[in-house]
A and B are shown apart, each in its own frame.
Chain A
Amino acid sequence: MDTKLTQPAKKFNWFSLFWEGVTHMSILGKTLWIVVIIKLMVMFGILKPFFFPDFLNSKCQNDKDKAAYVIEQLIDRTNHTP
């Protein structure tokens, strides 16, 4: 009696998609990922904390203080507009 062997259909799996994709990545893919990672590290690790702190957070403790600060700026800028 002939038996027909059939392969069961492979179920879609996010993890294996990513794992196989990452582990079989081309040199180009790896290069681009390195660029992305370095870029994000520079942006969030260096630029944001050291050069782009939130200005109002550095001046004010809470939302009420921020509103008070901004209103003072809005009123005062009419006298000191360059």
Chain B
Amino acid sequence: MEILNASLVNWSRAQFAMTAAYHWLFVPLTLGLGVMMAIMETNYVRTGDEKWRKTAKFWQTIFGINFAIGVATGIILEFQFGTNWSNYSWFVGDIFGAPLAIEAIVAFFLEATFISIMFFGWNRVSKKAHLTATWLTILGATLSAYWILVANAWMQYPVGMNFNPDTVRNEMTDFWAVALSPVAVNKFFHAVLSGWGLGASFVVGVGSWYLLKKRHVDFALKSIKMGAAFGFISFILLAVTGDGSAYQVAQKQPMKLASMEGLYKGKTGAGMVAFGILNPNKQAYNDSIDPYYFKIELPKLLSLLGYRDINAFVPGINDIVDGGYTLPDGEKALSFDEKKEHGQLAIQALANYRKAKQEGRDADAAEYKNTLQENYAYFGYGYLKTGQDSIPHVPLTFYSFHLMVIIGFYFILMFAIVWYFGHKKKMESAKWLQYIALWSIPLAYLAGQLGWIVAEVGRQPWTIQDVLPVQAAVSGLSTGNVITTFILFATLFTLLLVAEVTIMVKQIKKGPEI
């Protein structure tokens, strides 16, 4: 038996978080810039204007740099499933494997096949064939994102499966429940749109740099105007899908929503915090310390977002731990202690089932299997000790969520202003706005990272919501091994990032061939 310690769990989590964060530096730009360069090439094919061709080719080069540096960084995450999260990997069985396999076979090959025509085929295939290849490349990238997000959505809202105690694996019973989970669908649109928004901010920012340098002015103005319109629409739609996310989280992960809002005591007609400073002295959910130093609340908005009813009750962290409140389906919410009891029953039933099977006591085994299945929904609670263990890191979740939303609304305003200035032909002379657009590029990257922090820190302690906590999921490696690979990954990814930035800056400085 390996001795498990908190340090191993935390380093394993940190390693996965770090590699995922690096991966998410490359993916959104692929998604967003990909669509924009396809739109630019579409303009070229429609109008025959060579300037659009050269504009599209320039952004395609930038796309290519990002794609080449970023490709396969996601595979590092898969390495870790097998090494650092072996219990989890085995436990999730084909639920995880199927979407990842589809992603690799269908989406990647679609991308890989048509990207070659996109890069090599400019003067070798017809305009329309090349344009089709460009759109199919980005479709492939987007499909990849869908299947990865299906896998992640299942962690947040496990559906369409049945646990088999003989194989100790979750077996898929309903592929479409997994593939079309409402959490997956919303997450997909929200994540892809965040990439579109980032791509737009990148194009507008780089275009603004050219204006500041008074280089390639016509190219820059064209790119900025298109980028601003695309960015504005993307961020508006991001607000809509963000609303959808809040609704899904309220229904399926109420503890995450409560943490996002720093809501400890539930309320009917709960307001949403527009801005707030948490009290760092609040260490436990059941101490009497006020969670806030200060907050500005928008009345009733949280109830509206979470339950589509301005007078709905939104449970706080305390309510979820203590239970007893009425759920949307009319049932009474279980307390943490009640869920823990169910979880312990399930785990004990699993142990008894194993013993009964080994001893050939089939009737007993069948009874234990029933008990396991009846209590399986709360399996993971059997590993937790106190209610505090079921609560994610509230300050990190809270600040990440609110900062992400503020940045989102900032971009709606910024793109609106940039588009207006472009439309009124004032962008070229508005140096202050060019600087703002340029320095906004990192904010788009930050918003994307913050979104993932909300999603993944907010689901703690779970690797699979309610079913498997991190401490049961992690491999029994030595902490030293994990620290070593953490440092290796940090070094590798930093080198890749430096390479990307260096090559990209060089190419941007070189400029388009116009």
Among the listed stretches B28-36, B101-109, B470-478, which one makes contact with chain A, having 4 or more residues with CB under 8 Å of it?
B470-478
- B:82-111 near A, CB below 8 Å: 82-84, 86-87, 89-91
Q: How far is the CA of A51 from the CA of B483 in the complex (A)?
A: 11
Tell me whether B383 is interfacial, beta carbon within 8 Å: yes
Chain B residues within an 8 Å CB radius of A51? 83, 484-485, 488
Shortest C-beta distance, A58 to chain B (Å), equals 9
Contact of A70 among B90, B488, B496 (CB under 8 A): B90
Tell whether, in the assembled complex, residue B484 and residue A73 are in contact, meaning their CB atoms are under 8 Å apart.
no
A35 near B68: Cβ-Cβ < 8 Å: yes
Enumerate chain B residues within 8 angstroms of A21, measured Cβ to Cβ. Answer: 116, 119-121
Task: Check if B347 is an interface residue, CB within 8 A of chain A.
Answer: yes
Contact with A along B373-391 (1 / 0, CB 8 A): 0000000001111000000
Cα A17 to Cα B69 in complex, Å, equals 23
Smallest CB–CB gap between A65 and chain B, Å?
11
Question: Of A18, A70, A77, which is in contact with the most chain B CB atoms at under 10 Å from its CB?
Answer: A77
Complex Cα distance, B462 from A19, in Å, reads 49
**Contact A74–B87 (Cβ < 8 Å):** yes
Q: Which of B125, B385, B472, B477 contacts A77 (CB 8 A)?
A: B472
Do A70 and B1 touch across chains, with their CB atoms under 8 A apart? Answer: no
List, in ascending order, chain A residues with CB within 8 A of B424's CB: none
Q: When chains A and B are docked, how far (Å) is the Cα of A82 from the Cα of B124?
A: 62
B83–A74 CB distance below 8 A: no
With a CB–CB cut-off of 8 A, which chain B residues contact A75? Answer: 347, 350-351, 354
Instruction: Assess the B471–A52 pair: CB atoms within 8 A.
Output: no
B358 to chain A, nearest CB (A): 10
Q: Which residue of A lies closest to B123 (CB)?
A: A20
Q: How distant is B375 from chain A, measured CB to nearest CB, in Å?
A: 14
Q: Choose one: A18, A33, A54, A82; the contact of B120 (CB below 8 Å).
A: A18
| 0 or 1 for each of B475-506: is its CB under 8 Å from A? (1 = yes) | 11100000011001000100010010001000
- Determine if B476 and A73 form an interchain contact, defined as CB atoms under 8 angstroms apart: yes
**1/0 per residue A40-55: CB within 8 Å of B?**
1011000110011111
Task: Take A17-B116, A71-B168 as given contacts and tell me if A81 and B4 are in contact as well, using a CB distance cutoff of 8 Å.
Answer: yes
Complex contact B90–A66 (CB within 8 A): yes
Let me know if A2 is at the binding interface, CB within 8 A: no
Say which residue of A29, A39, A66, A70 sits within 8 Å of B72 (CB atoms).
A39
Residues of A within 8 A of B488 (CB): 47, 51
B61 near A28 with CB under 8 A, answer: yes
B475–chain A nearest beta-carbon distance, Å: 4
In the bound complex, do residue A80 and residue B3 qualify as a contact, i.e. CB atoms below 8 Å apart?
Answer: yes
Q: Which residues of B contact A28 (CB under 8 A)?
A: 61, 65, 503, 507
Q: With the chains together, A17 CA to B344 CA distance in Å? A: 62
Q: Which of B117, B347, B471, B475 contacts A55 (CB 8 A)?
A: B475
Determine whether the beta carbon of B124 is less than 8 Å from that of A32.
no
Q: How many residues of B contact A (CB 8 A)?
A: 59
User: For residue A77, which residues in chain B have a CB less than 8 angstroms away from its CB?
Assistant: 4, 383, 471-472
> Do the beta carbons of B68 and A43 come within 8 Å of each other?
no
Q: Which residue from chain B places its CB closest to the CB of A22 in the assembled complex?
A: B120
Chain B residue, CB-CB nearest to A36: B68
**How distant is the Cα of A18 from the Cα of B496 in the complex, in angstroms?**
26
Known contacts A51-B488, A70-B91, A71-B354: A82-B83 contact under CB 8 Å: no
Point out which of A16, A51, A57 has the most chain B C-beta atoms below 10 A from its C-beta: A51
Q: For A74, what are the chain B residues with a Cβ–Cβ distance below 8 Å?
A: 87, 91, 168, 347, 350, 472
Query: A52-B485, A55-B82, A71-B354 known; A32 and B65 CB under 8 Å?
Result: yes
In the complex, A52 Cα to B82 Cα: how many Å? 8
Complex Cα spacing A33 to B120, Å: 14
How near does chain B come to A27, taking the closest CB pair, in angstroms? 11
Contacts of A32 in B (CB 8 A): 64-65, 68-69, 503
Chain B min CB distance to A49 (Å): 10
Closest to B492 in A: A42
Please report the C-alpha to C-alpha distance between residue A73 and residue B476 in the assembled complex, in whole angstroms. 9
Q: Contacts A51-B488, A76-B1; is A39 near B117 (CB within 8 Å)?
A: no
Which of A18, A72, A73 touches B116 (beta carbons < 8 Å)? A18
Give A81 Cβ to nearest chain B Cβ, in Å: 5
B404 sits at the interface (CB 8 A)? no
The minimal Cβ–Cβ distance linking A55 to chain B, given in whole angstroms, is: 4
Give, as a whole number of angstroms, the nearest-CB distance from A80 to chain B.
5
Given A21-B120, A74-B472, A78-B347, A52:B68 Cβ within 8 A: no
B335-365 vs A, CB cutoff 8 Å, 1 = contact: the mask equals 0000000001001001100100000000000
- List 7 A-B pairs, Cβ < 8 Å: A17-B121, A32-B503, A36-B68, A54-B83, A54-B86, A81-B4, A81-B471
12 further contact pairs, Cβ within 8 A, besides A20-B124, A51-B488: A17-B117, A28-B503, A35-B68, A52-B83, A53-B82, A55-B82, A67-B168, A71-B354, A77-B472, A78-B347, A78-B382, A82-B9
Q: When A and B form their complex, which 8 residue pairs have the shortest distance between CB atoms, in order from nearest?
A: A21-B120, A55-B86, A32-B68, A82-B6, A52-B79, A54-B82, A52-B83, A67-B168
